[in-house]
Chain A
Amino acid sequence: MKIFQSSKYYEIIISVALFIVLDAGVLGLNYFTSYQIADDAHAIHLSNRQTSLTQRILHELFQVRDELEYEGTADEEIENLGRSFRQFDEALDAFIYGAALIGEGQGQDTLLLKSNYIFNDSKSLLALKEKWKPYRSRIMPIIYHSYIPESQSNAVLAKTKIAIELGRAINQDLYRLSNQFANELEMVAKEKAQRLRSVQAVGILLAVLNFFVILFHFLKKLKISDKRAEKAKKETSEILDNVNEGLFLIDIDENIRPQYSASLRRLLFKEEVAGKNFLSLLKPLVDEPTLQTAKDYLGVMFSSHVNHELIQDLNPLNDVEIQMPSGNGPFDTRHLSFQFSPVFDQKKLVHLLTTVTDITLQVKLQNELEQSKKNTVRQIEQLTSIIHIEPAILMATLNKFNKIFDEINSLLRHSTYNKHHQFKVRLQEIARLAHKVKGESSSLGLQTMETQMHQFESLLFGVLDKKNIEGNDFLPITIGLNALHIHVRSLLEIGTHFKNLELVYKDAELKEEQVDTLPIVNPAIIKQNGEANRWEVFIERLTKDSAIGTGKSVKVDLTDFDLSIIPSHLKDVIKDTLVQFIRNAVAHGIEEKDERIKIGKDSCGVISIKTKCENDDVVVVVRDDGVGINLASIKEHLILKNGIDKNHVDGLSKSKLLGYLFKSGFSTSLSLSPLSGRGVGLDLVRSTLNKSKGKISVGSEVGQYTEFRVRFPLVLPHSEYAA
């Protein structure tokens, strides 16, 4: 029934049906008419027989008369006459009233005239009937007798003569009328044949016309349809040849169908993909887990129970990174995205339309955007990290950092080192310089710089911890140093903007050397002119920032801190030293709040910093009210971490033990943090003191305090010390 519902086939079915009907009609008509023609032939034959019977009857009457006259009997002749009479009479009645005549000599069952073959409106036939009636009535008594006795032969003879007399009179008429009737029948038959021919001709003509209509109409339709299909195919080819994306169909067996876009070859770097299994094409491009997930995904996409829109997030091929050979030799990294859409045919899912897009540019832009966002965030972090710092101090400090980095760079580039020991020494020097920068960054609250320095220190100690240091090990350090240079440059840019804005300070630009070269005057005047304030702010900030994240509360006592005592050539050294001592005190000295309360101390620890002049020396004392120095802990550390013999350690004096605190790499910290753990801080102090001819002494009481006392000569023979 579907074929009937389709409009495409409706016309052709109607046309073919019409053709069949016409042909069947013609055939049927032929079949019917052939029987009629046979009947007409019979009728014509009978009518011709009637004509000859009219003559025979008269002839047989003559024979009866002659036989009766000469022999006195005419049984045979009368029988013949009777037969002819009956044939003529029955046939005449059959033509007028309709009857079935059984033929003689042709088989008893032959119907000479069908019972419905009637010509009761034929004038010649009716006239024949009228002429026959009296003749009939004269002949009937003659043939009545099957045997004529001698006594009646004269009577029969007389009747015969009467019949002959009438017969002679009407014979011509009978003949003529019979003949006319026969001609009529022939005419009727001819007309029927003519009609039949006409109908056949028309029928066949119509059938042929119908055939040609079918032929031309549908040929035309076929031609139009072919043209449309050709055009559609051409347009489809144009689309497939020019579309940028790779388009293809996958069937339920995961094979690629023959039609696909030209771009697909370029995207997948394959010459021919038709008929190939999609997953086998994908195999060299993705790792095994992704391939398996892709297989699962395709299987699910071909399932009828899922909502395809709701599983698009599970597509593992949204972003496939591939390495493709480029024309220039090295491989190109590209990103392809595979998207799948179901294709239905009468509500049954038959294919997946797959679109492959090169999203390399989008991914690149996305990465750049992410990077840009990160840069923006980083810059904002940098901005917020330095906004509190006086631009002049910031610039001076950053320039100092640059100089330190240049110094580190020259240490790295020194080409004469080829021994592990020499490498180690230089690395330790670099570590000290890095720690100094870290400390100063922390003191200024330059958190980003402090974090970067902590990472740089991790690199350094990663190499220092190696058993055999080689030249190649310095490469990541060089790269790290380069990143630090870039970071400082970035901060300098921001700092320059601030300087230009002159938001904080309206004074003229302070050059680096001016910052710390204000003359020693009355403390009150110092405080008034701001430098002392700046030191206070710096120390308080350093203390506060060092305590962040440690669970400790620390404050600094600067009651006896007098900046005016410190000569300008020592300010930098002392600042560096204070940085290390304060960080050390917070990390190792001051206890956590809860612990302090438990042992009856105030929850907030105190670091007091005092300055004084003693015998041409400047003395700086940094004292915390923390746990003090645990010599047992130092011993344990020496035995467990440094591997020194226990007996030897037990034999060490207190001053020797305390001396280890200043050795590079020695730290009693259990974990690493930006604040402590690498054992560099006091080593840096030692190095700084050595350069500036300073001395240090340490005092401590377990559970009570730790005190570092540094002494510098007010005047040096040579003003040579590390900045």
Chain B
Amino acid sequence: MIVDDSIVVRRKIHRSPLVSDADCVIQAKNGREAIDMFSHEHPDFVTMDLTMPLIDGVECVKELVAINPNVLILIISALSDKSTALKAIRFGARGFLSKPFTEEQLDTAIGKLLRMSKERL
């Protein structure tokens, strides 16, 4: 699930090889939509922006982890507020990728999280 209020960013993430190879990709443009879609679709992997309308990324991470503690969440956001990003990590996000990013950087980050998840299993 791709969560970002910018359609440009959502499309960019969707285009990257690992994401486009996934069985099913869904998009949400704000925190509320993300929580609703997550409850119905139960995606395994989520990319999350931090600054969004309605419900911000930190609250959204908290809610998603409460629904499924094993979900892999990658925060994708600008680096300006590190303390907010760390808050999201404390609530259960697994990694962070700063904007702007290349497709290669996104794939590397997703790959690392997926590998980590397999090792833990």
A residues with CB within 8 A of B? 289, 292-293, 296-297, 299-300, 303, 305-307, 309-311, 313-314, 316
Q: Is B98 an interface residue (CB 8 A)?
A: yes
Q: Is the CB of A309 within 8 A of B112?
A: yes
Q: Binding site of A, secondary structure by majority: helix, strand, loop or mixed?
A: helix
Q: Is the CB of B112 within 8 A of A297?
A: no
Q: Is the CB of A296 within 8 A of B96?
A: no
Note all chain B residues with C-beta closer than 8 A to A300: 86, 89-90
Q: Is the CB of B83 within 8 A of A311?
A: no
Q: Is B109 an interface residue (CB 8 A)?
A: yes
The verdict on A293 contacting B112 (CB below 8 Å), with A305-B94, A310-B95, A311-B89 known, is: no
Note all chain B residues with C-beta closer than 8 A to A297: 82, 86
> For residue B93, which residue of chain A has the nearest CB?
A306
Q: Is B113 an interface residue (CB 8 A)?
A: yes
Partner of A310 from B86, B87, B109 at Cβ < 8 Å: B109
Note all chain A residues with C-beta closer than 8 A to B90: 296, 299-300, 303
Partner of A307 from B79, B85, B86, B112 at Cβ < 8 Å: B112
Q: Is B57 an interface residue (CB 8 A)?
A: no
Q: Is the CB of A307 within 8 A of B113?
A: yes
Note all chain B residues with C-beta closer than 8 A to A307: 94-95, 112-113, 116
Q: A167 to chain B: closest CB distance in Å?
A: 99
Q: Is B1 an interface residue (CB 8 A)?
A: no
Q: Is the CB of A314 within 8 A of B82?
A: yes
Distance A466 CA – B113 CA, assembled complex (angstroms)? 61
- Not counting A293-B82, A310-B95, A314-B85, a sample of 5 additional A-B residue pairs whose C-beta atoms are within 8 angstroms of each other reads A289-B83, A293-B83, A307-B116, A310-B94, A310-B109
Distance A296 CA – B87 CA, assembled complex (angstroms)? 8
Partner of A314 from B96, B109, B112 at Cβ < 8 Å: B96
Q: B85 to chain A: closest CB distance in Å?
A: 5
| Chain A to chain B contacts (Cβ below 8 Å), 19 pairs | A293-B83, A296-B86, A296-B87, A297-B86, A300-B89, A303-B89, A305-B92, A306-B89, A307-B95, A310-B94, A310-B113, A311-B86, A311-B89, A311-B95, A311-B96, A313-B98, A314-B86, A314-B89, A314-B96
Q: Is B74 an interface residue (CB 8 A)?
A: yes
Q: Is B9 an interface residue (CB 8 A)?
A: no
User: Which 10 A/B pairs are nearest by Cβ-Cβ distance?
Assistant: A310-B95, A296-B86, A307-B95, A293-B83, A300-B89, A314-B82, A307-B116, A313-B98, A311-B96, A314-B85
Distance A297 CA – B82 CA, assembled complex (angstroms)? 9
Partner of A316 from B74, B82, B89 at Cβ < 8 Å: B82
> For residue B85, which residue of chain A has the nearest CB?
A314
**What sequence of 0s and 1s flags, for each residue 58-75 of chain B, a beta carbon within 8 Å of any chain A beta carbon?**
000000000000000010
Q: Is the CB of A293 within 8 A of B95?
A: no
Q: B57 to chain A: closest CB distance in Å?
A: 14
Q: A324 to chain B: closest CB distance in Å?
A: 25
